[in-house]
Chain A
Amino acid sequence: MRDLYPSGFDSFILPFMIGMTFVLCWCGIGAVRVIAELDREDRKKFFLSFLNPKILGKNIRDWFCDCLFHVKLWKRNKLLGYMHSSIAFGWFMIIVIGHIEVFIYTPERIHRMWYPIFFRYFVAVTESTMKGSFFFFLMDFFLLMILSGIILAMVKRVRSRLFGMRRTTRASLTDLIGLYALWSIFPLRLLAEGFTADISGGSFLTKSLNMVLHSFMSDSMNALPVWWAYSIALGVFMCILPFSRYMHIPAEILLIPLRNAGIKLKHEDKGVARAELYSCPSCGVCIDTCPLSAVPANSRDATVYLNRQLKRHNEKRIDQISEKCMLCGKCSVVCPVGVEGDKIRIAHRSRKKYSIAHDYSLIDEGKFIGNMTEKRRVLYFMGCMTALTPAIRKAVTAIMDKAGEDYTIMDGDGGICCGRPMLVAGRKDAAMEMIEKNTKIIKSSGASVLLVNCPICYKIFKENYSLEGIEILHHTEFIDRLVSEGRIAIDRSETKYVYHDPCELGRGCGIYDQPRNVVAAAGTLVEADVNGKESICCGGSIGSLSLGFDKRKALTENALKHLTCGSPDAIVTACPLCKTTFNRYSDRPVADIAEVTAERLI
């Protein structure tokens, strides 16, 4: 290989260079801004995380798996995964190999940013070596890979169902410009390299194209306009990138180490929230997955549209979307880049100003402390909702009686709310006061186990209470443990049960196996067509602030439809709210896991 032009420059590279400079500056400033917005402690944590080999290793793995191979999308749908990873990984490899070529053949040009991109224009092949044709082959191979991805992307625009997506995002104008620029980059590159392949060398793709082109166009000067077009397409793509969905490409690179460093989303639009916002690829995976989307009009309230409104600063819509969401957390689980739709919404709720402040001075925790004079091993906190589902309370106490457990009920005759409903409404100060009061009661009881049967309470006890020395157990864990320790035995029946994962217990606290063990001990466990991490919210969630009763019916019916597709005899859940909600519209019995257990105790 040798340089064709002594200057190593041609004016056609200018669009690319302008775009590249712009995008690098933009992203650089953006990254600095995000890091600057973190509070001091988080910033320190972030920088130190790079010195931790374990986190660094995880970063590198995530960069490859998430940004280049899109492993999460592969799991969702093979075609969708291939489409994304072929473009991302193929492009990455072309850039890497381009640099290697420059490094090997024209090392003195390595500082020229455009060289690896337009290498085939600036060099001529001098001898054919094995090494040379190896690189030529690789370049053509990865170009073909990208082109196949682009063709799939075009197909996806018209037939998204093939890719496992019923609904996709409606593209904004900048997204469309970016999209067309992206689509044109690689065919143009193929054409440009095809024109010059007789001089600069090429492989199966470019060389063959070269022959075809030269059969009717002999003048190699035709190449220049195509190189210009290629450069312009790159330039346009990079200039539009910060304003389009493609911003997710650089933003995700920053989000991964932020997440791995364990930095939590604290502010509604600064720091992590900003990194997540720009990492949203607008892919629309969250639209189909959102339980609200069971009503087509609601699909405009999916996380992808929240992100779009956030970018546009459309306060009215941001408010509406944040208040409507049931906070089931499903979009966060399925999001290929890890945008935490639920946390962003809670953060936005916390920004709202309330002119009437909370005042809990009259709510006297002393009354409850006074009620518990004797020290017991287990303190059973029913939670507010369980007062309205006495069957659950009765079943839990029956199980404890049978196991000979030493227990007392903390809120048998009224109690103080755990604080979670207030917390998710974004009023953290008020929630903290309730946490403080309940903590006093729990600590004064002297119990060593806090048993709860409501996943909403369970989550806040686990996450926001500091109860050192007290084990917090959800009743599904508790029953599972009693069974495995042989303290209770369940008489297995032939009943077919389907288990519904409550949002706060499954996605919220990661408890999937224990309830299934218990249900499987009581009868035959069948699974819903979507379960576990992707279980559909019952529609009764306290997470939503604005969703009225009449608007929830369709959501519950949709969840029931998915739950009952294995035609179970009964539905089992582990949350008083899910139970009440399902019971309203279900055509078959709905019971809490404790009831199912208590019924079949031997």
Chain B
Amino acid sequence: MMNIFGFRLSASSAIDMDKVDRTLFDKLCAEEPDARRCMSCGSCSATCPAGEFTGMSVRKVLHNLQRGKEREALKMVSSCMLCGKCNMVCPRGINTRHLILSVCRIYKTEESR
């Protein structure tokens, strides 16, 4: 961390696409190819019953994973109740439930790694 003119800049808050490891995301897309079709409309996040409490958002999970921000994504995903509302509202027909289960299987938290 740097402290310049009173602003604190955390090195991890910027995304460096050159350093993003895409192996796991590619693996996820092999399980659920529709993962790449998200257009970030936010329907899933708005309808999510867990989101209100935990900030869970399938949209954010997907984007964080694609940008290499795994920690943020995995924290959210653990609060999913698998109710399927996001599945119902998604205009692109992404199978969000299968996507979440696949994320839970493919990715590992730092503690469990």
Contact = CB atoms under 8 A, between A and B. Distances in A.
A547 B34 CA distance: 12
A352 to B, nearest CB: 7
24 contacts: A354-B104, A355-B105, A355-B106, A355-B108, A355-B112, A356-B74, A356-B112, A358-B78, A362-B54, A363-B50, A363-B81, A384-B49, A385-B84, A385-B85, A414-B49, A417-B81, A417-B83, A422-B82, A425-B82, A430-B81, A430-B82, A545-B101, A547-B95, A549-B94
Interface in B23-54: 34, 47, 49-50, 52-54
A425 B104 CA distance: 13
B109 interface: yes
A337 B79 CA distance: 40
Nearest to A360: B79
A415 interface: yes
B77 interface: yes
A466 interface: no
Interface string A575-588: 00100100000000
A439 to B, nearest CB: 15
Contacts of A508: none
A432 interface: no
A542 interface: yes
Interface in B63-113: 74, 77-85, 87-89, 93-95, 97-98, 101, 103-109, 112
A545 B94 CA distance: 12
Contacts of A599: none
B53 A580 contact: no
Nearest to A437: B81
Given A421-B81, A549-B94, 19 more contacts: A323-B98, A354-B101, A356-B103, A363-B79, A363-B81, A385-B85, A385-B88, A415-B49, A416-B49, A422-B82, A425-B97, A542-B84, A542-B97, A545-B97, A545-B98, A546-B95, A549-B93, A550-B93, A577-B88
B24 to A, nearest CB: 11
A489 to B, nearest CB: 34
B30 to A, nearest CB: 13
Nearest to A389: B88
Contacts of B54: 362-363
B89 A388 contact: yes
Contacts of A546: 95, 98
Interface residues of B, number: 34
A158 interface: no
A434 B80 CA distance: 11
Contacts of B85: 384-385, 387-388
A577 B85 CA distance: 10
A414 B102 CA distance: 26
A422 B81 contact: yes
B81 A387 contact: no
Contacts of B53: 362-364
A384 B84 contact: yes
A441 B77 CA distance: 24
Contacts of B94: 549
Interface in A284-315: none
A323 B104 CA distance: 15
A348 to B, nearest CB: 14
Contacts of B112: 355-356
Contact of A414 (B52, B78, B87, B101): B52
A131 interface: no
- Of residues B78, B81, B84, B106, which shows the largest number of chain A Cβ atoms within 10 Å of its Cβ? B81
Contacts of A486: none
Contacts of A421: 81-84, 97
A316 interface: no
- Of residues A355, A414, A419, A422, which shows the largest number of chain B Cβ atoms within 10 Å of its Cβ? A355
A548 B108 contact: no
Given A384-B83, A417-B83, A421-B83, A356 B49 contact: no
A130 interface: no
A494 interface: no
Nearest to A411: B49
A357 interface: yes
Nearest to A546: B98
A463 interface: no
Given A356-B107, A546-B95, A548-B34, A417 B82 contact: yes
A359 B87 CA distance: 21
Contact of A355 (B50, B81, B104): B104
B93 A359 contact: no
B112 to A, nearest CB: 5
Interface string A356-394: 111110111000000000000000000011011000000
Contact of B107 (A352, A355, A358, A385): A355
Interface string A331-366: 000000000000000000000111111111011100
Nearest to A353: B105
Contact of B93 (A358, A416, A548, A580): A548
Nearest to B81: A417
Interface string A217-244: 0000000000000000000000000000
